[in-house]
Amino acid sequence: MFRFIEQILDGFRPCFSRRAAFRWFVVVIVGLMLRSDRLGVTSIIRDLALDPSGYESLIHFFRSTAWDAGKIRDKWYRILVSKAPLLRINGRVVLIGDGVKQSKEGYYIPGVKKMVQESEDSSKPQYIFGHMFGAVGVLAGTLERHFCLPLKINIQEGLRSASLWDNSGILPENPIIQMIESAFETADVFGRSILLLDRYFLTTSALRKQAELNAAYGSPDHVTIVTKAKANYVAYRKPAPKAPGAKGRPRLKGDTVKISELLNDDSRYRKAQALLYGKRKEISYFYEDLLWGQKLYQEMHFVFVKYDGMKSIFVCTDLTIDPVRIAELYGFRFNIERCFREFKQQLGGFCYHFWTKHMPRLNHYAKKGDRDPLARVADKEDQKAILDTVKAIEGFVLFSSIAMGILQMLSLMVTDNRFHGGRYLRTQPENGDSEATVMSYMRRNIFLMFLKYPDSFVTRFIREKQTGKSGNIRDGVA
Compute CA 60 distance to the chain's CA centroid, rounded to the nearest angstrom: 26
- Tell me what the mean pLDDT of segment 273-297 comes to: 89
Q: Is the pLDDT of residue 471 over 80?
A: no
C-beta separation of 195 from 224 below 8 A: yes
Q: What end-to-end distance do the CA atoms of the chain give, in Å? A: 27
Res. 100: pLDDT tops 50: yes
What is the three-class DSSP state of 98? strand
Kindly report the three-state secondary structure assignment for every residue of 393-452.
HHHHHHHHHHHHHHHHHHHHHCCCCHHHCCCCCCCCCCCCCCHHHHHHHHHHHHHHHHHH
Percent of the chain with pLDDT over 90: 60
Residue pLDDT, tens place only, 207-240: 999 999 999 988 888 999 999 999 999 999 998 8
- Cα–Cα distances in angstroms (integers) from residue 333 to residues 82, 138, 339, in the given order: 24, 10, 10
Q: Which range is least confidently modeled, 5-9, 36-40, 280-284, 366-370?
A: 366-370
Determine the Cα–Cα distance for residues 102 and 351; give it in Å rounded to an integer.
9
Give yes or no for residue 436 having a pLDDT over 80. yes
Higher pLDDT among residues 255 and 416, named by residue:
255
In this prediction, residue 367 carries a pLDDT of: 79
For 97, the enclosing helix (H) or strand (E) is strand 92-103
pLDDT value at residue 275: 86
Predicted pLDDT at 473: 43
pLDDT tier at 478, thresholds 50, 70, 90 = very low
Mean pLDDT, the chain, whole residue set: 88
pLDDT at 320 over 50: yes
pLDDT over threshold 70, residue 419:
no
Tell me the CA distances in angstroms from 28 to 271, 297, 336, 348, 451, one per residue in order. 52, 49, 24, 13, 20
* Confidence (pLDDT) at 172: 66
Q: pLDDT grade, residue 170 (50/70/90)?
A: low
Neighbours of 98 (CB within 10 A): 21
Beta-carbon contacts of 284 under 8 Å, excluding residues fewer than 6 positions away, are 269, 270, 271, 272, 305, 306, 307
Q: Please compute, for residue 352, the number of CA atoms within 13 A of its CA located in the half-sphere on the CB side.
A: 25
Measure Cα distances from 304 to 199, 224, 315, 367 in Å.
Answer: 14, 19, 9, 42
Rounded to whole angstroms, how far apart are CA atoms 109 and 60? Answer: 17
Residues with Cβ within 8 Å of residue 285, at least 6 apart in sequence: 269, 270, 272, 303, 304, 305, 306, 323, 324, 327
Among 41, 34, 30, 27, residue whose Cα is nearest residue 4 = 30
- Least trusted range by pLDDT, from 56-70, 259-273, 406-420: 406-420
Is residue 20 a contact partner of residue 470, using CB atoms and an 8 Å limit?
A: yes
Residue range 399-413: mean pLDDT, rounded:
93
CB-CB contact of 409 with 140 (8 Å) = yes
Q: Which amino acid is at 406?
A: I
* Predicted confidence (pLDDT) per residue in 35-53, tens digit: 888 888 899 999 999 999 9
- Locate all alpha helices (DSSP H) within 128-244, ordered by sequence: 175-190, 204-216
Q: Is residue 325 pLDDT above 70, yes or no? A: yes
Please give the average per-residue pLDDT across 409-415, as a whole number.
83
pLDDT at site 105: 84
Ordered by start, the domain boundaries in the chain are 1-67+414-478, 210-239+251-332
- Give the pLDDT of residue 366: 81
Categorize the per-residue pLDDT at 475 as very low, low, confident or very high, splitting at 50, 70 and 90.
Answer: very low
Do the bridges between strand 298-307 and strand 279-292 make them parallel or antiparallel, or are there none, so unpaired?
A: antiparallel
Q: pLDDT, tens digit, for every residue of 5-20?
A: 999 999 999 999 999 9
Average pLDDT over residues 409-421: 73
Amino acid residing at 330? Y
- Residues 465, 471: contact at Cβ < 8 Å? no
Average pLDDT over residues 356-367: 88
Quick one: pLDDT at residue 283? Answer: 92
Residues 440-456 have a mean pLDDT of: 89
Indicate whether 244 pLDDT > 70.
Answer: yes
Distance, in Å, from the CA atom of 155 to the CA atom of 1, rounded to the nearest integer, reads 33
Q: What is the mean pLDDT of residues 389-417?
A: 90
- Name residues whose C-beta falls within 8 Å of residue 320's C-beta, 6 or more positions apart in sequence: 221
Question: For 70-79, 139-148, 160-169, 392-401, which range has the lowest pLDDT when averaged over its residues?
Answer: 160-169
| CA atoms lying within 13 Å on the CB side of residue 383 | 13
Task: Indicate the residue type of 341.
Answer: R
